[in-house]
Structure formats: C-alpha cells, structure tokens
Amino acid sequence: MARLPIPGSDDGTWGDILNNFLLVVHNNDGTLKVGTVPTGGTTNQVLTKASGTDYDVHWVDNSGGGNALTSNPLSQFASTTSAQLAGVISDETGSGSLVFNTSPTLITPALGTPSSGVATNLTGTAASLTSGITNALKSATTTVNVSAATAPTSGQVLTATAGTTATWQTPAATANAVKRSVGAGSGTPASGTVPSTGVVQYVQVPFAGTITGYAIMADQSGSIVIDVWKTNAAMPTVANTITASAKPTLSSAQYVNSTTLTGWTTAVAANDVFGFHIDSISTLNSFSIVIFITPS
C-alpha cells in the first residue's frame, strides 16, 4: 500500500516511496488521474460517480436540498400546500384544503353519523331531513307519536288520543268555553212603576262570536217578553229581529237562564249593535237581560 516516507527511516528508498505515493492520484506528468477527488465544490454539494471508470467523480448539488433528520419537525422542509400534501397520501377522502378543529369552513361535507353535536346556529329548513326522523314529540316523561296525524287545518289543536299518540283535531265547544255577555236593563227597584212596553236599550259588541243563550233577572217575580234586534254598526229596528218566535221570556218568575234559541240568528260580527225591545211586561219594577256570546 502506498505511503509517505518516514523521517529517520527509509534511507535510500525515500524517492521510490514518495513516487509510489504520488502516482496513486497523479500521472507521470504531474496531472491528476481521472477519477480522483476533484477540487472545488460548494456547501452542501456531494460527490457523485460520473461514469463506470474508477475514481470518476464530481461535485453536484443535492437535489433534495439536504438530508432530513427524524428529530426535526416538518418545518425543515419547504412550505407545502394542501394539494401537495394530498398528492403524497393514498387514502384521503374529499378534496380541498387541510382542516383543523377550530372554526373550519366545510363545503358540502357528508358528515356520516356524528356521535354528538350542538346545532344552535344552524340555518335553513328541515325539508330534506328524512333519515332518523321519528315523527314524535318528546318530553321528560314520554314520547308522543304523531306520525299518523294528518296535516292540520286552521284552528285545529294537537290532541292526545292515547298515552303515546296524538292527532290534529278541531276543538269542540264545551262548558268551559270562554264566554262574554252583553245586556241591558230598565226600571228602578221598589219604585212601584212598571217599565213601559216599547222601551229599547242599545248595546254595541266589539268582537265577533256566536250567541249561546240568555238570562233575565228581575227585582221580583213577574213576567216579561223581550225582542232582540241586531245590525252592524247602525241602529237596529224591528226589521232586524234575530229571535224569530223564541223571544227571551220570563214567566211568573224572578230569574230565567235559557239556551233555547230556536230560529235565532246566532252569528255575531264585530261592532254589531244590539237593541232590546220590551214587547210585554207585568208586575216588575226593574229587570236586566244578558246575552251570552262565545267569541270566535
């Protein structure tokens, strides 16, 4: 193996030893042999074999820009776009930008079946929400199935038909329906003067509804027949009677309450004016009549 001469030794052979050492990388004329380590090169360049000839190497730039170290983060590499990252991943789903968990903007995602979520700020309608809809109303104690309920009409209410089912129904008039009343009176109790026939008292009703009955109250037992007139936003006359042949009647009594309205016009419009006409009266010094109306 070629080596340099050793001082204090190799007497008489220094020239041969030195020539053998130099000839490893030099030609006889002093030029470098092909394939020896070339001069030059810049920082981060690497030696690359140029041909099949021994020692035929030269300096080249490292196409990777340097070696990656497993102990360093990804910041050692050049900036990478979402598309470039997706290009080196083989099992991604969807497309577009990389998503992080704080306030991301997702475009038409298919969320699958989330295990939880809060929909406080969602907008739009539920027209396309079909899967998972149970057609049920839930409370803390029970679930009411309304899947069999047909579409409601105006004025209907959701009514339970069993412990866990309900349908839309039109509420029926009941004894608990809200009622209002209008009325009039005449005379002075204990005056000894019987109110005259033909006297008319007028009252206007500001709401619409249906007449359901009447009551007559008197200061003492006696008899009275009252005709009821009605027209809208004007003063009624006998031509506007609504009682047919079933006029409110108190017969030898002090009080009567009746729902017998045979032949009556019971519909009431807002701002109808009622007139109460005394057809006949006896014994009574004073009386009051009340018409009961269920608002619509």
pLDDT at 229: 96
Half-sphere exposure of 32 (CA within 13 A, CB side): 9
Q: Examine residue 270 and state whether it is found in any structural domain, yes or no.
A: yes
Burial class (CB in 10 A: 0-12, 13-18, 19+), 129: exposed
Rounded to whole angstroms, how far apart are CA atoms 294 and 177?
Answer: 7
What one-character-per-residue DSSP string does 41-101 give? --TT-EEEE-SSSTT-EEEE--TTSS---TTS-GGGSPP--HHHHHHT-SS--S-SS---S
Coil vs helix vs strand at 243: coil
Which backbone phi and psi does 98 adopt, to 5 degrees? -65, 140
CATH of the domain at 206: 2.60.120
| Torsion sign over Cα 74, 77, 83, 86 | negative
Query: Quick check: is 50 in a domain?
Result: no
Q: Is 270 exposed, middle or buried (0-12, 13-18, 19+ CB in 10 A)?
A: middle
Mapping DSSP to helix (H, G, I), strand (E, B) and coil, where does residue 220 land? strand
Task: Return d(Cα 112, Cα 116) in angstroms, integer.
Answer: 12
What residue spans of the chain are helical by DSSP H? 14-22, 82-87
Q: Is residue 169 part of a domain?
A: no
**Cβ neighbours, 10 Å, residue 179:** 14
> For residues 108 and 95, what is the distance between their CA atoms, to the nearest angstrom?
11
Q: Report pLDDT for 35.
A: 56
Residue 96, in any domain of the structure:
no
Total domains in the chain come to 1
Secondary structure of residue 179 in the 3-state scheme: coil
Provide the pLDDT for residue 243: 97
Residue 58 β-bridge partners: 48
Note whether residue 246 is domain-resident. Answer: yes
266 in the Ramachandran plot: left (φ > 0), alpha (ψ -120 to 50) or beta? alpha
- Per 3-state DSSP, the chain is made up of helix, strand and coil in percentages (nearest 5) of 5, 35, 60
Q: Are strands 143-145 and 136-138 parallel, antiparallel or unpaired?
A: antiparallel
What are the residues whose beta carbons fall under 8 Å from the beta carbon of 69, sequence distance 6 or more?
A: 76
Enclosing domain of residue 256: 180-295
Q: Give the pLDDT of the chain (296 residues) as one tens digit per residue.
A: 677 878 878 777 877 877 887 777 777 887 777 656 666 677 777 777 777 666 667 777 766 555 666 777 777 777 888 888 888 888 878 888 888 778 888 888 887 787 887 777 777 665 555 555 555 555 556 666 665 667 777 777 878 777 777 778 877 655 445 567 776 766 666 556 778 898 789 999 999 999 999 999 999 999 999 999 999 999 999 999 999 999 999 999 999 999 999 999 999 999 999 999 999 999 998 999 999 999 98
CB atoms within 10 A of CB 102: 4
Question: Residue written as tokens 């989330």?
Answer: 114
What pLDDT does 172 receive?
Answer: 65
Question: Quick one: pLDDT at residue 293?
Answer: 93
- Looking at residue 125, its pLDDT comes to 64
Is residue 277 within 8 A of residue 237, CB to CB? The reply is no
Cα-Cα-Cα-Cα dihedral sign, residues 262, 199, 180, 272: positive
Whether 136 is covered by a domain: the verdict is: no
**Does residue 10 lie in a domain region?**
no
Position 147 in a domain: no
Identify whether the C-beta of residue 226 lies closer than 8 Å to the C-beta of residue 247: yes
